[in-house]
Amino acid sequence: MLDPEFEALWKKINARTTYRVEYQTNALVVAAVRAVKSMEKIEQIRVTYHEAAVALENKGVIATMVRESSDKLVFGGAVPDIIAYLQAETELTRSTLVRILKDSGRLAEFFHNPQRFMDAVAVILKRELHRLIIDGIEYERIAGEEYSMQLFEGNDSDLVTYLHSRYELKNKHKSPYDAVAYDSEVEREFAEELDNREDMKLFVKLPPRFLIQTPIGNYNPYWAIVTQDNRVVYLVRETKSTRGLSKLRPDEATKIRCGTRHFEALGVDFDVVTSANDLRIK
């Protein structure tokens, strides 16, 4: 681990960061109102009745439909406090929630099915809030705080648990470890490609405890790489089956966007790739 190239790589990426978020309340209200207006209609609960005549014959029981009817039920229970519920789910102010509900024109549907309406609106508000937060998030270094190289200690023993999911390196000098544990075929192929490429001087799969804070939970990026052609370049890469963030799970895509801002603050090249052929240097 004290190899000069590994030390240089680690010094590029080991700074801890903190983030701050800025967004305009009016922008959130406009986006949330638009989304609530277009959400699926909350219908009244409908109960359907089926009446059938049953006869016992030699070939078995025969049922014949006699009548079918349905009724809409009017909610008659105690109406829950929708503002308090949405506040607990989103931490938005009461005044902001009132504006969104009134301007959406959908509040009447709350009385059709209160719990379903509140749950649907809560999902929309959290989605729009997260989108605005990520658009306005900024990371900055925390002076004097860095990840310790001890994060890598014990990782070798962890590889024992991956007896059927580990790639044995051909070029042992390229990594602190003799093998790379992988969770998917994309990761295995990526490790093999890096191992075989002459311009890849060093690479390591970052340990699970290397975490970047985001508003929706910690994010663990995958790979740190040193490549050398005409110049030495330090990279961090995330391997996925697609480079299109819109095709990933929303939380997954959001964390990657936060990772991008984190590494921008450190001046480190970060991107999502599907293979070593995608290792474009920005």
List, for residues 14-23, the tens digit of each pLDDT value. Answer: 999 999 988 8
Q: Which of 212, 201, 223 is nearest to 266 (CA)?
A: 212
The distance of Cα 230 from the centroid of its chain, to the nearest Å, equals 36
Please state which of the ranges 29-38, 95-104, 272-281 shows the lowest mean pLDDT.
Answer: 272-281
**Which helix or strand (DSSP H or E) is residue 200 part of?**
strand 200-205
Which domains can be identified in the chain, with CATH numbers?
4-21+139-278 (3.40.1350), 25-39+76-135 (no CATH)
Query: Taking CA 245 as the corner, what is the angle to CA 22 and CA 250, rounded to the nearest 5 degrees?
Result: 65
**Contact between 252 and 241 (Cβ < 8 Å):** no
User: What pLDDT score was predicted for residue 154?
Assistant: 58
* Orientation of helix 25-37 relative to helix 114-135, angle to 10°: 140
Q: Assess contact for 37 and 104: CB atoms under 8 A.
A: yes
Report, as an integer, the average pLDDT of 212-223. 91
| Statement: the pTM of the whole predicted model exceeds 0.75 | no
Residue 161: pLDDT band by 50, 70, 90 thresholds? low
Mean pLDDT over 1-7 rounds to 74
Tokens of 56: 């016992």
pLDDT of res. 7: 85
Q: Answer yes or no: is pLDDT of 155 > 80.
A: no
